[in-house]
Amino acid sequence: MSKNKNTKIVMDKDGIDRCLTRIAYEILEKNKGMQNLVLVGIRTGGVYLAQRLQKKISDIERDKIPLGILDVTLYRDDISASNKKPRLGETKINFSLDDKVVVLVDDVLFTGRTIRAAMDALIDFGRPKMIQLAVLIDRGHRELPIRADFIGKNLPSSLWEAVRVDLVEKNGVDEVVIEEES
């Protein structure tokens, strides 16, 4: 974390956990239980959040909800033109998506382009009955007609700010930070 950036913590460990608990209940409420429900986390931040949601939902329902991992790199709309290719992560969806309600999980919803790529990818795996979207942070600035079904926190931000979600699994700490680009 660079020192010359102006950073502000906007959500701490407990805040994140409370958000995820609420989202878990909202998912179950909206879908009337976990019948036909699967979670798919978008690499990388979304995967850890999806794992936490999986645990919360499984605890509530006393049954394990299936979890898939999706790397959307190959579906990005800037990939063909990009000069150097980003490192690929593994995609792992070990179950059929046909007629399932898929809850996509990501950390931050911003332009919507990642979600567009994720939806294209999901459809290559099968024909889900419905795709829903759960995000920890919605920071606005959409460039595509996409909205989230489950939102941890709306965080209006300016374009010269960056929103970063740190998670224990990734950075050793749970917090959401706004950084001002210097």
Partner 1 sequence: MKFEKKDILGIKDLSIDEINLILETAESFLEISTRKIKKVPTLRGKTIINLFYEASTRTRTSFEIAGKRLSADTINISASTSSVVKGETLIDTARTLEAMNPDVIVIRHSASGAPHILASLVKQSIINAGDGAHEHPTQALLDMMTIKERKGKISGLKVAIIGDIEHSRVARSNIYGLSKMGAHVVLAGPATMLPRDIEQMGTKVFSRIEDALVDADVVMMLRIQLERQKQNIFPSLREYSQHYCLNRSNIKLAKKDVIVMHPGPINRGVEISPDIADDPSCSVILDQVNKGVAVRMALLYLLTGGSE
Chain contacts with partner 1 (rule: CB under 8 A)? 71, 73-75, 79-85, 87-92, 120-121, 124-126
Shortest distance (Å) from residue 131 CB to partner 1: 16
What count of Cα atoms within 13 Å lies in the side-chain half-sphere of residue 132?
Answer: 19
Q: Which residue's CB is nearer to partner 1, number 71 or number 166?
A: 71
Q: Which residue's CB is nearer to partner 1, number 56 or number 116?
A: 116
Shortest distance (Å) from residue 171 CB to partner 1: 20
What are the phi and psi torsion angles at 101 (to 5°)? -90, 115
Shortest distance (Å) from residue 47 CB to partner 1: 14
What are the residues facing 101 on neighbouring strands?
A: 37, 130
Handedness of CA 90, 91, 95, 96 (dihedral sign): negative
CA 70 distance to own-chain centroid = 10
Q: Which residue's CB is nearer to partner 1, number 62 or number 85?
A: 85
Shortest distance (Å) from residue 63 CB to partner 1: 27
Q: Which residue's CB is nearer to partner 1, number 29 or number 90?
A: 90
Q: Which residues contact 172 (CB under 8 A, 6 or more apart)?
A: 166
Q: Which residue's CB is nearer to partner 1, number 46 or number 152?
A: 46
Q: At what angle do helices 13-31 and 45-61 cross, to 10 degrees?
A: 60
**Nearest alpha carbon to residue 16 among 133, 177, 180, 182:** 177
Shortest distance (Å) from residue 170 CB to partner 1: 19
